[in-house]
Amino acid sequence: MEILQGKKIVLGISGGIAAYKAPELVRRLKEQGADIRVVMTEGAKAFITPLTLQAVSGNAVADSLLDTQAELAMGHIELAKWADLIIIAPATADIIAKITAGMANDLLTTLCLATSAPIAIAPAMNQQMWHALATQANITTLKDRGYHIWGPGCGEQACGDVGLGRMLDVDDLVSLSGDFFVEKYLQGQHWVVTAGPTREAIDPVRYISNHSSGKMGYAIAHAAVRAGAKVTLISGPVTLNAPFGCELIRVNSADEMHQHALSLAPTCSTFVACAAVADYRVANVAAQKIKKTNDAMQLELVKNHDIVADVAQLTDKPFIVGFAAETQNVEHYARGKLVRKNLDLIAANDVAKSGQGFNSDDNALTLFSAVDHIEIPLANKTIVAQQLVSLINQHYLAKLNSTEL
């Protein structure tokens, strides 16, 4: 099922240049199963036409408080009651100020007063306007009133300035909309997730690494953020964007990953070791590029620290989940690692099977604890991660309850 299946979303568009992204936002929210009704301010219509939004949303666009025809179709009070969520994107400094002041002189501001639905605001304005004391005071007031403030992002602006004030990317807004409806069952927990490969330098231009894409670890981090956890993602070099809302620590080598993991682990509730850490590193990394003068060469390798096993040695250790990517005897090897590394759970997958595991978008896992095992069937890694995170939490809570007895 799509994340927003059956959800009723009102998208309010105010008059900023980022309004040109609104049709794409509508299309993507609909793709996720949402029913969208668009409300436009007069300013928004200077940037984009209601006809475009009507075509992509499949519903008439509401743009006037005083239009008798529109009020007959779905009046503003009905619209206010219909919505499960109101998103205002882009939200200009002006609409933010009007909403804060409780004004109701157009359809969008009236809706905000007349609804009991949650309201998310995606600010979009020049960086100076964003930093203005008036805007900041308005944002603080709206946050205090329970409004959700999504962004703004940082970067180059339409006016040429660089800084905070860009509307978040459509991808992030869609992702936040999906996150919004997920039960926040990990509220108050801190998860640390390792992901991706590590790179072990041979010389300044060469390294030893592996095919890990980081997709599984990133999907787990995202699923934990969606469920309300604070998440720190320690990631080796990958080409993925960090899931919105999680803290990203980029590393290269196993040593760097080890350092960060060991310093964060005592403060977290759950540690998920999803990284494909290189087992060995080069004993003597060459300071200069090695020249190919000989027909053969030998590298001396030394064993890396086992990060997850070291975390499991801590006196204040968190709940620990490891991964086992195997090509044969999956259960036997996975259970061996569970015991040897002193883990609470291990998620095992058969990487010899095509279409799952390394570099694939899909995965199937078996989650082993000391006493049982649960299958997570083949599916997109996003779905697998959501199930895995929920199962990890159930085991975590069970352990917490049993130690409290």
Which residues carry out catalysis? Answer: 159
Find the part of the chain contacting ligand C5P (CB under 6 A) among 32-40, 228-236, 320-328, 392-400.
320-328
Q: Is residue 337 a contact point for ligand C5P (CB under 6 A)?
A: yes
What are the beta bridge partners of residue 62? 39
Would you give the DSSP letter of residue 18?
G
Contact letters for ligand C5P, residues 145-184 (x by CB under 6 A): ----------------------------------------
Q: Is residue 392 a contact point for ligand C5P (CB under 6 A)?
A: no
Contact letters for ligand C5P, residues 218-257 (x by CB under 6 A): ------------------------------------x---
Q: In angstroms, how far is CA 27 from the centroid of its own chain? A: 20
Cα Rg, the chain, nearest whole Å: 25
Counting residues that bind ligand C5P (by CB under 6 A) gives 13
Closest to 62 (Cα-Cα) out of 81, 39, 44: 39
- Measured between alpha carbons, how far is 102 from 106 in angstroms, rounded to an integer? 12
Find the part of the chain contacting ligand C5P (CB under 6 A) among 243-251, 273-281, 292-300, 364-372.
273-281
- Measured between alpha carbons, how far is 238 from 220 in angstroms, rounded to an integer? 15
Q: Is residue 306 a contact point for ligand C5P (CB under 6 A)?
A: yes
Closest to 359 (Cα-Cα) out of 325, 391, 387: 325
Residue with Cβ nearer ligand C5P (22 or 308) = 308
CA angle 203, 204, 206 (to 5 degrees): 60
Q: Is residue 308 a contact point for ligand C5P (CB under 6 A)?
A: yes
Closest to 132 (Cα-Cα) out of 160, 162, 164, 159: 164
Element holding 217 (H helix, E strand):
helix 215-226
Residue with Cβ nearer ligand C5P (111 or 273) = 273
CB 301 → ligand C5P: shortest distance, Å? 13
Q: Is residue 323 a contact point for ligand C5P (CB under 6 A)?
A: yes
> Which residues make up the interface to ligand C5P (CB under 6 A)?
194, 254, 273, 275, 277, 304, 306-308, 322-324, 337
